[in-house]
Amino acid sequence: MAAAAEAAGLKYDAVESIPQINKELRAAFLTGKTRSIEYRQNQLKQLAFMLQDNEDAFCEALNKDLGRHKFESMFAELMTTITEAVEAVHSVKSWAKKEKVSPGLAWGFHNPHVRREPKGTVLILGAWNYPLTVQIGPLIGAIAAGNTCVLKPSEVSAHSAKLISDLFPKYLDPECYRAVNGGIPQSTALLDCRWEHILYTGNGTVGRIVAEKAAKWLCPTTLELGGKSPTWVDETADLPIAAKRILWGKQFNVGQTCVAPDYVLCTKKVQSQLVAEFKKAADQFWPKGQEAATDQQSKMVNEGHWKRVKGMLEGTNGKIVLGGPPEDNKSQSRAFPLVVVSDVKPDDSIMTGEIFGPVLPIVAVQNVDEAIQFINSRDQPLALYSFSANSDKLIENCRSGGVLTGDILLHNAVGSLPFGGTGPSGYGAYHGKWGFDEFSHKRAVLEAPHRGIMGHAVEMLMKGRYPPYNIKNLSMLGFLAGKKANFARPKNPHASVTKPNSSGLVRKLVYLVALLSLVLGARSRGLITAF
């Protein structure tokens, strides 16, 4: 990736400088500077202004790195990340408040509570596919929690990394926040240092290396990985809507999204209908064909990834029903059309690993039970999608990092929801308060009265704990702090009884009315024209 860095003018940090950077940030943390809520708010404000003041520059950098249209960069990165920073400014004071806990009779005078405190000096190892969302996004949580931090932007998206690094010292306090650039040597040097938390976004292979390196220091990690996120579509779905939303989610950033729909599961009957709807949706998205709309579509990040996805596609035994493999002479342009492949077998070349590109396989199954079995036979995905009137069965019987029914990708844009994986798709979560909590230590505090009248009163109640032990004293201690199992014994303790969840129909209707009112009001004021 040195060629990309050179083309972008991105300078790598010297490997030997990295331990000193770590040392300086650790020293800065110990001054207590970042514990101030006002200081954190000011840094978050500066982060929001960094993005807002330089929207055009970021869009240009993202276009150079990923060939991305300004609409996608604004919608998926700048709007969401600025919003998250603004919300953190307004919310960090309440997030950081002491949390009272219900102690019971024994500890009522001890003021038990939980303090959310900064962990210390943390490291964020970013990814190239969404240079703001998955790099600046976690940084918001780290700053809000009061940590000092190093951000290592991905050198693959070199123009974005250079812009972030150039702007960092202009907006953020360099004593507490630094950007470090480089490749494997710099990443290795960073991982050899001591940190109080590491957040890594990328693939499972490197994720394991990060976790192993962190284990040397007993350092907690957050791994945001990926996997093959399935999409279930059945006959109850509105297929025209489902097709448009699935196709949109797959073509967004040309499939280089960790929560992109990796493959579709449906019955044979639904498959033929869905393919027809995919073709209609493609005609709406690109009226003159995909080749004439390359300015609307993102590009593969480099030739290596272009060739990797093309190789997957060339090895498939499925039937290409939309789009087609690009010609070899198109590799330098990095343009790759969206391709839909039907009748894909479970052992097909496209199904062996995460695609991370604009290829959408369709695997036919008999019913939802076979779909569940298929999903559960593989690693837990980062996302699970369902277009069905009966999604509950799928949700209750399959594990995934997140779930979205009736749409694609959008759960990642809701800042109040945690974003993270499970098992091989990662662990830990961020976004909003979840990111604040991820980078915070939950410190248990108990303040026992030990002076004055209250101290002596508590001492009288608790003196039975001291030697010489007397078993009779247990009755008083048990009255104060103990509980008995005073419920009935279960008649059949090993049986599993699952009750259906409430549909929440009333709540959904309320949201629908509010949404329609908002849309109609915006239309009447001429703010939108597409509805």
Q: Which residues are catalytic?
A: 224, 258
| Contact by Cβ (8 Å): 327, 307 | no
- Alpha carbon of residue 209 to chain centroid: 20
C-alpha separations of 398 from 177, 290, 412, 420 in Å? 40, 35, 19, 16
The DSSP bridge pattern shows strands 197-201 and 402-405 to be unpaired
| Contact by Cβ (8 Å): 121, 147 | yes
Task: Take residue 11 and report the two structure tokens written for it.
Answer: 């300078």
Alpha-carbon distance of 325 to 455, in angstroms, equals 78
Alpha-carbon distance of 84 to 136, in angstroms, equals 10
Q: Residue 499, CB half-sphere, CA atoms under 13 Å: how many?
A: 3
Q: Residue 393, CB half-sphere, CA atoms under 13 Å: how many?
A: 13
Alpha-carbon distance of 381 to 197, in angstroms, equals 24
Neighbours of 239 (CB within 10 A): 20
Neighbours of 85 (CB within 10 A): 25
Phi, psi of 235 (to 5 degrees): -70, -15
Phi, psi of 85 (to 5 degrees): -65, -45
Query: Of how many residues is the chain composed?
Result: 531
| Residue appearing with tokens 């073709």 | 279
Phi, psi of 364 (to 5 degrees): -85, 135
Task: Take residue 420 and report the two structure tokens written for it.
Answer: 């993270």
| Contact by Cβ (8 Å): 143, 438 | no
Secondary structure in 3-state letters for 412-433 = HHCCCCCECCCHHHEECCECHH
| Contact by Cβ (8 Å): 176, 34 | yes
Phi, psi of 320 (to 5 degrees): -75, 120
| Residue appearing with tokens 């073509």 | 251
Neighbours of 270 (CB within 10 A): 23
Alpha-carbon distance of 51 to 528, in angstroms, equals 25
Helix (H, G, I), strand (E, B) or coil at 280: helix
